[in-house]
Chain A
Amino acid sequence: MVRTLTLPVSHADAVSILERPAAAGRPLRHGLSRLGRALATPLVPTDFLDLLDPLASAVDLRGRVVEVRPETADAATLVIKPGRAWRGHVPGQYVRIGVDIDGVRRWRAYSLTSHLGRADGCIAITVKAIPDGIVSNYLVRRATPGLVVQLDQATGDFTLPARPPAHLLFITGGSGITPVMGMLRNAIDAMDDVVLLHSAPTAQDVIFAGELRALGGSGRLRLIERHTDVDGMLGASDLAELVDDIGFREVWACGPTGMLDMLDAAWTASGRTDVLHTERFRPAITAVGDGGTVTFTSSDVTVAADGGTPLLDIGEAAGVLMPSGCRMGICFGCVRPLRDGAVRDLRTGQVTEAIEGDGVLVQTCISAAAGPCSIDV
């Protein structure tokens, strides 16, 4: 599933090469690396190594898709061989993946669903194609083995403690099952009493249906499937009825915004938010229309902007030290990263979007707010 983060991502991957344990050969390696850089300038040696093997880089993390396995009519699991720089993950975490679609690199986050410690070192994500979803549809329907993708290190705090609580309840909806599947596959042996309440439109839409039903059948977990086309959406009043000992359980929930809002309200009402852990879907696409609030993140300035004034002018009017150039969309002297929200290219009407964790570079002199947005200036 796709989600935004509740906490800022730490982009620690770039320092991985600095963290290697000290070794006797360190001065030698340091010297060689300096020599390599001096020989390759203005490039770096890895630029040449990338020509041979894009997965070998210790700096830029990439992965190669080795298998695309359909799960349902609109969901698939992608097994990915991560590059040398991959540092592993904790079940329940997600990974940001960058895919070049029609020549444009697009990043999305997907939960990791794989078993830890696979012999081949591969990881897996499970993607559900959402209507009009550029990346999800590409990954489910067009990606083939051999595809090289960009990766970020795994992150996210939707994980189980080292020793899972005695009484567990997972509440999931749609592709919200994916982080939970990652947990179940790796930690079910450590779980004594676990209930999974999963909602999907129909029985056919249940991702990992066979595996989950087998676990249910063998008594390893209590599986409650809710098929919302027939049973209706899960409501607060259904909870106690479906899970009679719900008050004794620590809950991990992942699914659509409506479901999570309902759960938040229910557990807040009972004063037990400490036992509810949630992972949210990506918010709805920013409304495209009449401008919005612009935040210049590094300058810590927030101003209202209309939909027709370039962000460059908005920033300058607010006293932000904006880089600028030709002010007509040619020189790219004003390009800054869009951190989240949406901006419109005033020339084409085209809307560029970013979600937290992104840094989509946009020209501020010809881009106007198309909803709330944050620019790194």
Chain B
Amino acid sequence: MTAIQRLPLDPTAHLRAEDIEAIGRELDAIRDAVLATRGEADAAYIRKVIDAQRKVELASRAVLLVSLFPPAWLAGTIGLSISKILENMEIGHNVMHGQWDWMRDPKIHSTTWEWDNASPSSMWKHSHNQIHHAYTNVLGKDNDLGYGIMRVDEDQRWSPFYLGQPLWNFLNACLFEYGIAAYDLEIGKYLKGRKDKAEFRQQVRDVMAKIKKQATRDYVLHPLLSGPSALSTLGANATANLVRNWWTHSVIMCGHFPTGIATFTKTSIEGETRGEWYLRQMLGAGNISGGKLLHLMTGNLSFQIEHHLYPDLPSNRYAEVAPKVREVFERYGLPYVTGSLPRQVGSAWKKVLRLSLPNDFARKAVGAVVKPLASTATRAEPERAAA
């Protein structure tokens, strides 16, 4: 996608300023309706998910104590993968967004939560909540657009480095938790000398300390506790981390990379109104269609559009607001991007592959080959074909 402001057909061109503010008011009303009914059932939901996740983790780790026995390895690895995915997505991501802060439970609160991920929660909250959610899809501001290692928009300048981006994306998917930590460290910014050195060093120490704890748990202590099953438990834990990394990476790619999702220029957000902010969130995210299990396992990021409109509403309520939000899109003639998980993952990967080459490379390449060939055929002037 090219920044919306530079598109020949701006999908918001038909909206007047008052329409945009009206959209804002309608979306506020949808939000208010949820807030008015937020209560005991929601609290019971998150406590149930947390309770279930911890029991699954406990049971899986217990089963893995005898992971030499293949069915135990399989069951434990599946259970631990599920537990890690739930912990990162439906619980960690959403708790750290402050979705459950209204409960006033210090154990389920954005300021106290620490997650099973290499990036310390304080760093992740900064880069995710304060940068990505505030500057969603603004070119040059929102580093989630390619994570600084990929080019996922025509308006991002091509360089030969991006030729390798299919590989970078694959590696990032395998090592996603470390990728997130590296990203949250803002290594690129540091290398360009735009980040405070002392702060950076402290953050590196924090990340390393956290990685050490995580690795000691998964790759040393639990394997050692398994005695003769040590190696197979280590393998199981590594597999669970890999599965979690691949799953979260895939889901997150679907949020902003698939075809049809808009990007925005830096200047377009100057003096942005509430309505304009909402409009950017509406067009800057895409959903994944599916059933309840998919929504749970994606941490309800399958409702990425609703999540970007209302990042602090409890995730269990996105399913209920989605039809109302979609109705607003339709009434105002705006594209609501959604598709199945395979389709959206495919679309995102296609973009990663396509944009690893310069814009319109395929067309130009074809043009460069076909045109001369055509002229060769008709005019038989081989010396010009080489030009």
List residues of chain A with CB under 8 Å of any chain B CB: 35, 38-43, 47-48, 51, 100, 102-106, 325-326, 328-333, 335, 348, 360-361, 363
Question: In the complex, how many angstroms separate the beta carbon of B262 from the nearest chain A beta carbon?
Answer: 20
Which residues of B are found within 8 Å of A333, using beta-carbon distances? Answer: 125-126, 129-130
Q: In the complex, A108 Cα to B102 Cα: how many Å?
A: 17
Q: In the complex, A326 Cα to B308 Cα: how many Å?
A: 14
Question: In the complex, how many angstroms separate the beta carbon of B59 from the nearest chain A beta carbon?
Answer: 11
The residues in B between 156 and 207 inclusive whose CB is less than 8 angstroms from any CB of A are none
Which residues of A are found within 8 Å of B213, using beta-carbon distances? Answer: 38, 41-42
A328 near B312: Cβ-Cβ < 8 Å: no
Question: In the complex, how many angstroms separate the beta carbon of A81 from the nearest chain B beta carbon?
Answer: 21
Q: How large is the interface on B (under 10, 10 to 19, 20 to 34, 35 or more residues)?
A: 35 or more
Among residues of A, the one whose C-beta sits closest to the C-beta of B308 is A330
B40 near A105: Cβ-Cβ < 8 Å: no
Question: In the complex, how many angstroms separate the beta carbon of B87 from the nearest chain A beta carbon?
Answer: 9
Question: In the complex, how many angstroms separate the beta carbon of A168 from the nearest chain B beta carbon?
Answer: 40
Which residues of B are found within 8 Å of A41, using beta-carbon distances? Answer: 213-214, 216-217
Which residues of A are found within 8 Å of B58, using beta-carbon distances? Answer: 48, 51
Which residues of A are found within 8 Å of B214, using beta-carbon distances? Answer: 41-42
The residues in B between 104 and 127 inclusive whose CB is less than 8 angstroms from any CB of A are 104-105, 107, 109-111, 114-116, 125-126
* Extra inter-chain contacts (4) besides given A41-B217, A51-B54, CB under 8 Å: A48-B58, A102-B39, A330-B133, A330-B134
Q: Is B26 an interface residue (CB 8 A)?
A: no
Q: In the complex, A103 Cα to B134 Cα: how many Å?
A: 28
B98 near A39: Cβ-Cβ < 8 Å: no
Among residues of A, the one whose C-beta sits closest to the C-beta of B112 is A361
Q: Give the dominant DSSP class at B's interface.
A: helix
Q: In the complex, A328 Cα to B28 Cα: how many Å?
A: 14
The residues in B between 37 and 93 inclusive whose CB is less than 8 angstroms from any CB of A are 38-44, 51, 54-55, 58
Q: In the complex, A238 Cα to B163 Cα: how many Å?
A: 94
Q: Is B32 an interface residue (CB 8 A)?
A: yes
Q: Is B244 an interface residue (CB 8 A)?
A: no
B103 near A103: Cβ-Cβ < 8 Å: yes
Q: In the complex, A38 Cα to B38 Cα: how many Å?
A: 36
Q: In the complex, A371 Cα to B38 Cα: how many Å?
A: 26
Which residues of B are found within 8 Å of A102, using beta-carbon distances? Answer: 39-40
A332 near B101: Cβ-Cβ < 8 Å: yes
B221 near A325: Cβ-Cβ < 8 Å: no
A103: which of B43, B129, B221, B222 is its contact (CB, 8 Å)? B43
Q: In the complex, A265 Cα to B334 Cα: how many Å?
A: 70
Which residues of B are found within 8 Å of A331, using beta-carbon distances? Answer: 98, 125, 129-130, 133-134, 311
B114: which of A38, A42, A51, A100 is its contact (CB, 8 Å)? A42
Q: Is B97 an interface residue (CB 8 A)?
A: yes
Q: In the complex, A326 Cα to B221 Cα: how many Å?
A: 40
Which residues of A are found within 8 Å of B216, using beta-carbon distances? Answer: 38, 41
Which residues of A are found within 8 Å of B104, using beta-carbon distances? Answer: 104-106, 360-361
Which residues of B are found within 8 Å of A42, using beta-carbon distances? Answer: 114-116, 213-214
B51 near A325: Cβ-Cβ < 8 Å: no
* A/B interface sample: 9 pairs, CB < 8 A: A35-B221, A39-B221, A39-B225, A41-B214, A51-B54, A51-B58, A103-B103, A326-B134, A335-B98
